[in-house]
Structure 1
């Protein structure tokens, strides 16, 4: 039964449809509307829902910026989506550092890169999971077959998080001998 639940979840991930930059509203939205977009887009992951309190906190932490009058433009909505996704693994300090490294004029391109990379990764993992793991029922062999790819995925996530954390720290730190910009 647990095997079928995992398979259903992985299959459901393939329904992920993150909006591209041009699909984001071209007008400003209130936090509640931006949260609705994030929650709808990220629904296949079954993450905790994004709330207006989350968004307000991200604004206070200078991760997301308002377009004015407590509204969010395309850049703000994109940062809300990225932050909502990345907070599942990364601390807000790392997310803030990473987003700050993106020049304003490259926000649309960086966001679309995030969307395409996420979609490709989900498709690759979902496809590999379904091909590598045959779940005939709750037998010892089925549990064992599922354990190896699940452990590999968990280990890869931790290793990748550690690498990204250190890469962000190195990118954010000014080069030795150069003054801060």
Structure 2
């Protein structure tokens, strides 16, 4: 089975027309499916609006900011709590320059997703060919855990600074 390319669209590639929720979800899930295999549902979106993770729509009309928010939340929802998602998204989609924040996030994602180091584990001093697939999976899982802990710690530091 061929591996699907993991690429996120930049802000200027997002539709600039008003969207209905069904269209927003179809686009969001189209971008996320090759990456996470997960989908965002209407109920999830309504919960994100209610929790103010994603800015609420204007008269059921959705724009680029909503699509950008849904894409980012779709990627980060398995990593952060709702409160952490809200903080992260507010930081990424800075109210003054949401396009720049979103493009920075997308550029980092696209770069790392295509980086050869991402596609293959790097175990110092170890021969991957001599390791069992389960050992490599364990290593990858530990790396993911450590990156997750680092991201949560940094997000907490941002939140603490803003509250001071």
Q: What TM-score bracket applies, with the shorter chain setting the length?
A: 0.7 to 0.9
Structure number with greater Rg is: 1
Tell me if the contact between 2:24 and 2:67 (Cα under 8 Å) persists in the aligned partners. Answer: yes
Does residue 100 of the first structure (1) align with residue 90 of the second (2)?
yes
Q: Does 1:170 align with 2:161?
A: no
Per-residue displacement from partner, 1:158-180 (whole Å, max 9, x unpaired)?
1111121121122112468x5xx
Equivalent pairs counted in the alignment come to 157
Task: Give how far 1:133 is off.
Answer: 5.8
What's 1:115 paired with? 106
Cα RMSD (Å): 2.3
Question: In the alignment, does 2:67 pair up with 1:77?
Answer: yes
Shift of 1:105: 1.9
Distance 1:96 1:56 in 2: 14
Structure 2 match to 1:160: 147
- Corresponding residue for residue 90 of structure 1: 80
In 2, distance between residues paired with 1:175 and 1:17? 32
Q: So what's the TM-score if we normalise by structure 2? A: 0.82
> Gaps spanning 5+ residues in structure 2: where?
122-126
8 Å contact from structure 2 (residues 20, 61) kept in 1: yes
Indicate yes or no: 2:38 matched with 1:51: no
* Structure 1 runs not aligned, ≥5 long: 1-7, 135-140
- What secondary structure sits across from 1:66 in the alignment? coil
CA distance 1:44–1:126, shift in 2 (3 Å): farther
Distance 1:175 1:59 in 2: 22
Quickly say closer, same or farther: Cα 1:35–1:104, change in 2 above 3 A.
same
The more displaced of 106-115 and 166-175 is: 166-175
Look up the match of 2:124: none
Runs of 4+ with >3 A deviation? none
The residue number in structure 1 matching 2:120 is: 128
* Equivalence for 1:4: none
Q: Structure 2: how far apart are the matches of 1:90 and 1:163?
A: 12
Give the aligned partner of residue 58 of structure 2.
68
TM-score, structure 1 length as denominator?
0.75
Which residue of 2 is the match for residue 151 of structure 1?
A: 138
